[in-house]
Amino acid sequence: MPAVIIVYTWKNLGYTMVICLAGLQAIPKELYEAATTDGANAWHRFRHVTLPGLAPVTFFLLITGVLASFETFDLVHVLTRGGPVDSTTTLVYYLYESGFRAFKAGEAGVAAVILFVVLFVMTLIQIRYLERRVTYAG
């Protein structure tokens, strides 16, 4: 599993950096100027301006990363084919194995419903959190 995690992280590093760069560029320069005028050093500017400014971007990357990790199939299939004793089998890979390799359509259907429910609940949590955040921020 560590090899799959390392390859998955490396695969998504460019996307993550582009999104973080866009988030950094969206932070108004005036906030940094005001913090400098108030006597904030580099650490305080980072802690009180940059990190709060990147909070929505970080939350977006966290949620999309978790949702995408549930759908990891290609890396597991290419690298380990489920790994030694199913140690790297993900839900999507299990769905593929049971549905297309073992021809157990019922098990694959149940796995698909479980995957749908998990991703749906996570999406609802994200929507609720963003609604609450917009309500308080606005």
pLDDT digits (tens, 9 = 90+) for 37-68: 999 999 999 999 999 999 888 888 888 888 88
CA–CA dist 82, 104 (Å, integer): 17
What is the residue extent of each domain of the chain? 2-137
Q: Which CATH number fits domain 2-137: 3.90.1150.10, 2.60.120.10, 1.10.3720.10, 3.40.190.10?
A: 1.10.3720.10
The pLDDT of residue 69 is above 90:
no
Beta-carbon contacts of 89 under 8 Å, excluding residues fewer than 6 positions away, are: 76, 82, 83, 97
Q: What is the pLDDT, as a whole number, of residue 138? A: 44
- Residue with more model confidence, 126 or 120: 120
Q: What is the pLDDT, as a whole number, of residue 18? A: 96
Q: What percent of the chain has pLDDT over 70?
A: 94
SS3 content of the chain, % helix, strand, coil (to 5): 85, 0, 15
DSSP 48: I
